[in-house]
Structure 1
């Protein structure tokens, strides 16, 4: 890769990233996991339902609907943000803006209390959206800091850093949540938000100090780049309709990702409302989830090398289906903890194995754009899954009945995977024209 100089800066960017730069990039996943595990998966949903909306019956619907809007907005705007970062060559600076915004709004959540419904939802939405944008843009640095032979290895380092970040952040807030999500413990719960904001900021800082962007901005202005983006998208849609394997995988991915998102978003709420898991038990529940995730990443990585991505993904989604089916009939905490461990095992590699299968069936000449569409499908699934759960809860006011929704999602997704190839198709049904031809 050719080195170049930043304008107004005589310091030359090294051709290849060194160990410090790669570790700094991985550290951002530590930062991301601290936010997603503590704020998104555990604390805010319970805090919002039990404290902020203590005297309301629509809290579950409000938080799931907000999650839907967050993911929909990110999915629609991420291509535009990515285009803007490519045109300006200021990707790291754009990440910094979202990073600061996420840090500040996460800390500000600590000022919310009973009755602050819209203040809490809007602040959480800004934090979650900013987190999502920065997470996606940081991921795009991987090809610049790692040679092709090390992509998987460094991505694995990042995953390990994420597990470590989740573990440390959970242990850090353990004393604050040990008394549970009750009114007398509100002051301690509020401290979780600025504390996680601090962890997020400190863990993410090395990325900005040590990571370099090696791809310069394009010569076109943003309006031209945006026009080209829409033109290329319009050309891609007819081609996509002819790729039955890709379309089928998008549908299967949407279904089982919707199911997985439902479980990860509502597991804290469900465990407390349905089974009485509260206080310190919630922390141990999520530590169990993280341990299972780390083990699952190793196990399913081995299975993928042995059986290929399709069969491994079928095993993974099948495990999800069994876990949800068991959860519907559980009435003891220790059994729920066991199933949570298995959920963590399945969750640990769902994304990575899906990514491998996507790479297997994507047309080589348009793999980047198809991965972009795949990301959009994932964002939509992340929003629609929880929204379906929230709507079903609003109808029958039960936390158990809506679990049939992810069970159906996983069942249909597993059925769709049956028809996908386990090896790269030897002939693409409709070879897509190169852009500009």
Structure 2
């Protein structure tokens, strides 16, 4: 297994440490899209200030993100296979990141009028699609700059950089743009200019910190023909993907089970961040500024957790970290069901955030450890697809629990059930089984 994960770029010298740092800077910069655009600033602006009503805006945002998720589920695996075939993870990372940055710049034209709602939703959806495609290539590069001895640490370092980058940018934007009556570059509430400037600054942030990995990431030898007509090549890749899934069912069953288990618990993790602000405002009376402060604190906790857990990942393996993290999250979320005290919510939110980072990072590490470099894009494309395939589960269980029990905090129970299902699914997965089956095929 060690030989399959070792690449020319996996030496432990200072040059490779610089490559790892440059690689992690992409995570640092990408937080401008996740934390600022999608979670804490611009998407709420769309639903509250641009849409005619908050309910209409939230519904439209949900449908647009669902459509984006469908596109990702259909295209991401073949996109990863195409990157593998041509050995072009760095090229495709640059292309897809560039498109995301352009959509962020485009958000400057979304004024606070319902006439601009669909422009904003379209840009968010397109940005989300290409962000997922970029992550497929980004994760594929990680396999080429690490080895089995430090992949957990590197994965955790990347996640941690993302969380720290998000909180740094949130604080900068809060101080310079959001809080002042007239902020940086003349930011004001007129025509939503304050939030439109936030989008531009976030785009610049992402572009700057994405550049280092594009110049320093190692190349890879093409393992197949990447030329020909694009449509025929894409269809051929997809046919190969179908054959791969059939083969996985019989010879890489554990890898397939990992994809399923991780899809479930990752959706529960995503739901934690998606509804934390909703719970904070609705059940605990947090103001808008308090929610942003909560977001900053959550990023600090998650980043610290991801970096610390990387040490345990490399020594104990990713599976114990995932299992321990999920257990703590489930237990740490239970008090929310029974208490309406803001202090209880703060403690629980920080505990959950601290454990979310390690579970996410070790999940990526788990896949990296069982993935040979020549299949990195294909496997991480499947990783993205399976994650999107059940993206409805967390929100549906959240809403169902509220409907059944009649109070908002009950939605937490729905999310905890999803996480418990994911925990039950990951426990029997054997992380070394795919490597053994792969070696058996090579020897045969």
Asked if TM exceeds 0.5, the reply is yes
Residue in 1 that maps onto 2:3: none
Residue in 2 that maps onto 1:12: none
Residue in 2 that maps onto 1:10: none
Question: What are the superposed Cα offsets for residues 54-81 of structure 1, whole Å, 9 maximum, x if unpaired?
Answer: 5252433332333333233223212222
- For 1:303 and 1:18, how far apart are their aligned partners in 2? 22
- For 1:92 and 1:142, how far apart are their aligned partners in 2? 11
- For 1:427 and 1:220, how far apart are their aligned partners in 2? 27
User: Retained in 1: the 8 A contact 2:329–2:355?
Assistant: yes
Structure with the largest fraction of helix: 2
Residue in 2 that maps onto 1:254: 263
User: Retained in 2: the 8 A contact 1:313–1:354?
Assistant: yes
- For 1:332 and 1:95, how far apart are their aligned partners in 2? 45
Following superposition, the deviation at residue 315 of structure 1 comes to 1.9
With over 3 angstroms needed to count, the CA separation of the structure-2 counterparts of 1:225 and 1:109, relative to structure 1, is closer
Following superposition, the deviation at residue 409 of structure 1 comes to 0.3
Aligned residues: 421
With over 3 angstroms needed to count, the CA separation of the structure-2 counterparts of 1:433 and 1:149, relative to structure 1, is closer
With over 3 angstroms needed to count, the CA separation of the structure-2 counterparts of 1:18 and 1:345, relative to structure 1, is closer
Residue in 1 that maps onto 2:120: 120
1:205-354 to 2 correspondences below 5 Å:
205-216=211-222, 218-222=224-228, 223=232, 226-227=235-236, 230-231=239-240, 233-237=242-246, 239-240=248-249, 245-304=254-313, 308-354=317-363
- For 1:294 and 1:213, how far apart are their aligned partners in 2? 29
- For 1:334 and 1:229, how far apart are their aligned partners in 2? 51
Following superposition, the deviation at residue 185 of structure 1 comes to 9.7
Following superposition, the deviation at residue 243 of structure 1 comes to 5.8
With over 3 angstroms needed to count, the CA separation of the structure-2 counterparts of 1:375 and 1:16, relative to structure 1, is farther
- For 2:206 and 2:261, how far apart are their aligned partners in 1? 33
Residue in 1 that maps onto 2:96: 98
Where do 5+ consecutive residues of structure 1 fail to align? 4-14
SS in 2 for 1:140: helix
Question: What are the superposed Cα offsets for residues 245-304 of structure 1, whole Å, 9 maximum, x if unpaired?
Answer: 445444432222121111122323332233332333222211211221133224434554
User: Retained in 1: the 8 A contact 2:8–2:144?
Assistant: no
With over 3 angstroms needed to count, the CA separation of the structure-2 counterparts of 1:401 and 1:110, relative to structure 1, is farther
Residue in 2 that maps onto 1:167: 167
User: Retained in 2: the 8 A contact 1:40–1:265?
Assistant: no
- For 1:143 and 1:359, how far apart are their aligned partners in 2? 6
Following superposition, the deviation at residue 153 of structure 1 comes to 4.5
User: Retained in 2: the 8 A contact 1:64–1:389?
Assistant: no
- For 2:319 and 2:30, how far apart are their aligned partners in 1? 28
Following superposition, the deviation at residue 200 of structure 1 comes to 0.9
With over 3 angstroms needed to count, the CA separation of the structure-2 counterparts of 1:254 and 1:155, relative to structure 1, is closer
- For 1:190 and 1:342, how far apart are their aligned partners in 2? 33
- For 1:331 and 1:432, how far apart are their aligned partners in 2? 56
With over 3 angstroms needed to count, the CA separation of the structure-2 counterparts of 1:65 and 1:259, relative to structure 1, is farther
Residue in 2 that maps onto 1:380: 389
With over 3 angstroms needed to count, the CA separation of the structure-2 counterparts of 1:316 and 1:19, relative to structure 1, is closer
User: Retained in 2: the 8 A contact 1:31–1:203?
Assistant: yes
- For 2:67 and 2:97, how far apart are their aligned partners in 1? 20
With over 3 angstroms needed to count, the CA separation of the structure-2 counterparts of 1:211 and 1:416, relative to structure 1, is closer
2:49 is the alignment partner of 1:51: yes
- For 1:367 and 1:2, how far apart are their aligned partners in 2? 16
With over 3 angstroms needed to count, the CA separation of the structure-2 counterparts of 1:233 and 1:22, relative to structure 1, is same
- Between stretches 362-371 and 152-161, larger displacement belongs to 362-371
Following superposition, the deviation at residue 143 of structure 1 comes to 3.6
With over 3 angstroms needed to count, the CA separation of the structure-2 counterparts of 1:251 and 1:127, relative to structure 1, is closer
User: Retained in 2: the 8 A contact 1:67–1:387?
Assistant: no
- For 1:363 and 1:111, how far apart are their aligned partners in 2? 42
- For 2:436 and 2:384, how far apart are their aligned partners in 1? 22
- For 1:384 and 1:75, how far apart are their aligned partners in 2? 13
With over 3 angstroms needed to count, the CA separation of the structure-2 counterparts of 1:199 and 1:398, relative to structure 1, is farther
